A and B are shown apart, each in its own frame.
Chain A
Amino acid sequence: MELSFQMVMSQVMLGLNNGVFYAILSLGLAVIFGLLNIVNFAHGALYMLGAYVALLGFTSLGPLIGMPDFHLNYWAALIVAPLVVGAVGIVIEKTMLSRLYKFDHLYGLLLTFGLALIIQGVFTNFFNVSGDPYDAKPEILGGAVNLGFMMFPKYRLWVIVISLLVCFGTWFVIERTKLGSYLRAGTENPELVKAFGVNVPLMITLTYGYGVALAAFAGVLAAPIYSVSPVMGSEMIITVFAVVVIGGMGSIMGSIVTGLLLGMVEGFTKVVYAPASSTVIFLIMVLVLLVKPAGLFGRES
């Protein structure tokens, strides 16, 4: 394959498209990790769940509630799916995770691993593993834009823009607002924050809910691009874990920037040496671990 400018730019653009998914997902993991100190293994499954809420809302919700003509459209799904999945997350946190805080954090990882298997298994039984198409892409986002070096689908451009907005919005709230300062303080010293009259358990629950809602949001964004399938999350989550390790766990900006960068690196690798594209992120992880064990943006503990 020739290394033309056009080819490199196209692949890097597609890489960025992938990168925003890494960014949103690793951001969600970072938010959760920051306060709860658990690695949410179910993140991929909840991302998949988000896509299914959108898909089923479009195809099956109408007939189910006796209104065959009702379809939950794409824009509504962008709001509804995160809310639904966020609620699921809150239930998970309240009924299960909260029982484990007094034990080793590893139990949180194991619990969410089990949950991931359950969610994925259930969907595998009811839906086609090869994926179902989500045909609710709005007209306005159809077609492609000429970027000069390539024709780029409008929808993918929209995904990049909205994801960046959501990522940086989240960063702003956590790093620059009062609400965020409670969160950060809660991470450092929950007892002290409690003393100031903040309801810490509630804060933890809502944080978990928000983290998984982000995953669901990414799932809805992904639905029109990829087929919606029960395994879409499990394929993604391991890569996202590597992204998180590289960025340094718990760092908000770190997770966003690393996600975007690694997406582009992956895209670039596809031009240079395609077979390595699925491994390159893990190789970078090894290098980072050798040089900076705490990750690029992490602090040594």
Chain B
Amino acid sequence: MKKLCSKVALSVAVVALTSGMAGAAAKGVSDNVVKIGVLTDMSGVYSTLGGKGTQVGVEMAVKDFGGKVLGKPIQVIGADHQNKADIASAKAREWFDNEKVDMITGLLNSGCALAVQKLGGEKKKITMNTGAASTALTNDACTPYGIHYVYDTYALGKVTAEAVVPAGGKSWYFLTADYAFGHSLEANTAKFVTKLGGKILGSVRHPLSTADFSSYLLQAQASGAQIIGLANAGGDTTNAIKQAREFGIDKKGQKLVGLLIFDTDIKSLGLNVAQGMQFTSGFYWDRDKGTRDFAKRFYAIHKAMPTMDQAGAYSATMNYLKAIKAAGTDDPDAVMAKLKSMDISDFFAVNGKIRADGRMVHDMYLMEVKKPSESKGEWDLLKIVKTVPAADAFMPLSESTCSLVKK
């Protein structure tokens, strides 16, 4: 049977070869439609901070843009990557190959983000990452078609360390989520803590979605560090904070610092538990009139205020469509050239610019959780303590190891 197999295989292969390899160089809009894929965590640990809300953001942007670009309709499709790199890459491959998706946004997990961005690089498709944090996306793993839009572990670590260390938080112990994102967040934060004269006493790594942090917290406690840095996200962060209170860790003078916190996390912790915590964010809905207007419209659809991922997805989509219009085509090379040359400025991004390595730099904010007495409403959770200018928040281009950066 094998013989038969290979014999027929050969002949069919020959037919395939001679049937020709058609190359498609497009002007205008390819396939007569611009298709945007929202690939994100729709059901897992991060679904409240991204999930359907991210798709809502993208759909709002398409609607605000008028539903058409260069006279062709814009379509949005969504899927759940379940935080699994294999599912993300299989879905993205199918979208690129079969569904003619032109751009993928969302990607709420570093593993998924790296896989999809790499695939996008191979298939010449734009990926605008709003969810994942790993700096690898704009360093070793950068591609000519990959944009990292909202935040990264460098900015999170730097801004937070610069706030905490000078205020007396000199010795640190990390609880780190054991995957690319956690490692990257820990490394970046540790770098700035030591640079500012602080000390790292140790770290412990926990699996993604850990239910019981007690033994890790005890190790952190035993280290005697002043600051317990939480290099994790979503449910892991909130669980760790809650259990630290259960064991009375905060009462003994040790302070927990969440390195990546979203509004929705604060919401689930409650102000009582979270008050006074400082962290870094790329967006807060109650910053100015523009953000409030957007947030109000978003809330009407999604019944929750937008997180930085969700607002970022709106902004990314909007600017992508603007770039198509300006370039007069949805050809990825032309659109990328446009995106990298234009100013990114809207309610979300202040002083925004997309650099050669794909990093979108914009102002970042040091946030503090309000006391319950300061809060005037269900979503009145945070105040902006400090605005960090784009140039100070992100990794300088000169430090990037991305091959696209000319040195």
Contact surface of A with B, Cβ cutoff 8 Å: 1-2, 4, 6-7, 10-11, 14, 17-18, 124-125, 128-131, 133, 144, 150-151, 153, 155, 225-227, 229, 231-232, 235, 267, 270, 274-275, 278
Contact = CB atoms under 8 A, between A and B. Distances in A.
B85 interface: no
B212 A130 contact: no
Given A129-B44, A153-B247, A270-B215, A7 B207 contact: no
Nearest to A270: B215
Contact of A130 (B205, B219, B234): B234
B30 interface: no
B215 A130 contact: no
A129 B239 contact: no
B47 interface: yes
A271 B45 CA distance: 28
A6 B222 CA distance: 9
B247 A131 contact: no
A11 B218 contact: yes
A164 B263 CA distance: 41
B209 A267 contact: no
A227 B48 CA distance: 15
Interface in B206-247: 207, 209, 211-212, 214-215, 218-219, 222, 234-236, 238-239, 242, 246-247
B235 A14 contact: no
Nearest to A231: B209
Interface residues of B, number: 28
Interface in B79-136: none
Contacts of A144: 246-248
Contacts of A153: 246-247
A131 B215 contact: no
A130 B48 contact: yes
Given A17-B214, A128-B47, A155-B246, 11 more contacts: A4-B222, A14-B212, A14-B214, A14-B218, A131-B235, A133-B242, A226-B239, A227-B235, A229-B209, A267-B215, A274-B205
B47 A274 contact: no
A104 B45 CA distance: 39
B46 interface: yes
B207 A278 contact: yes
A235 B44 contact: no
Interface in B32-59: 43-48
Contacts of A235: 211
A18 B212 contact: yes
Nearest to A11: B215
A155 B245 CA distance: 13
A136 B13 CA distance: 66
A129 B218 contact: no
30 contacts: A1-B202, A7-B218, A7-B219, A14-B214, A128-B47, A128-B48, A128-B235, A129-B43, A129-B209, A129-B235, A130-B44, A130-B47, A130-B48, A130-B236, A131-B239, A133-B242, A133-B268, A144-B246, A144-B248, A150-B218, A151-B247, A151-B248, A227-B238, A229-B209, A229-B235, A232-B211, A235-B211, A270-B215, A274-B219, A275-B205
Contacts of A11: 215, 218
B204 interface: yes
B219 A1 contact: yes
B153 to A, nearest CB: 20
